[in-house]
Structure 1
Amino acid sequence: MDTKNKNIKTFAQHLDKRYGIKGTKERTEFEIKAKSFAIGELIKEERKLAQMTQEQLAQKIGARKSFISRIENGHSDIQLSTLYKLIEFGLGRKINLTIQ
């Protein structure tokens, strides 16, 4: 093996070092934040595909623009009922959940 590659770590090893191994409090908190961010990105993309502004989506579901912004940026926990309202009523899409 080439000596300059000895210190290369996998992404999983990097996460273990930075956030702790799976199952630890720190790692669990990181994974929850990562999922929240991913859901926000999905909502943002669907909103843009629907050619809606954050303000328009907020008005459609009876919320404030700042709430939509916090969700899209992964800075707000979202209840399942709110997620349903956002996707089904706000964006006219369907939710399909898969548990693995």
Structure 2
Amino acid sequence: MKTIRTFDELLERRYGKIGTSKRTEFEINAKAFAIGEIIKEERRLANMTQDELAEKTGTKKSFISRIENGHSDIQLSTLFKLLELGLGRKVSLIIE
């Protein structure tokens, strides 16, 4: 068995090569998790609870929780609403 030396090698062994359906699904889930972590951190920096953010943006606390834990897809309009309206942050997207 080949020794794993890099994170990319680990991902390839566990999820397959880039472009395979299993690897693509992993990468999508990883990005959803990262977005949730960003929202959670910005909410904490704003000294807001999930309840307060939900009330300010017209959503539910359970929805905020699911997003922050990477368990819910989020539409771009909702992302902008949570970060810009709810937390007073500016969102910029970069497509490479």
* TM-score interval, normalised by the smaller of the two chains: over 0.9
Cα distance per residue 1:10-54 (max 9 Å; x no partner): 111110010010000000000000000000000000000000000
The amino acid that maps onto 2:91 is I
Say if 2:43 and 2:49, in contact at 8 Å, map to a contact too: yes
Match of 2:7 in 1: 11
Shift of 1:7: 2.3
Q: What is the identity percentage for the equivalent residue pairs of Structure 1 and Structure 2?
A: 69
Partner of 2:89: 93
Aligned length, in residue pairs: 95
Amino acid at match of 1:47: R
Larger Rg: 1
Residue 30 of structure 1: which of 26, 30, 49 is its match? 26
- Residue in 2 aligned with 1:69? 65
What letter is aligned with 1:48? R
TM-score by length of 1: 0.92
RMSD: 1.0
- The 3-state SS of whatever aligns with 2:47 is coil
Residues in 1 aligned to 2:44 and 2:91: alpha-carbon distance in whole angstroms: 17
Structure 2 residues not aligned, in runs of 5+: none
Q: Which runs of 4+ in 1 moved over 3 A?
A: none
2:45 aligned partner, one-letter code = L
Unpaired runs of 5+ residues, structure 1, are 1-5
Determine the C-alpha separation between the residues in 2 that align with 1:8 and 1:36. Answer: 26
TM-score by length of 2: 0.95
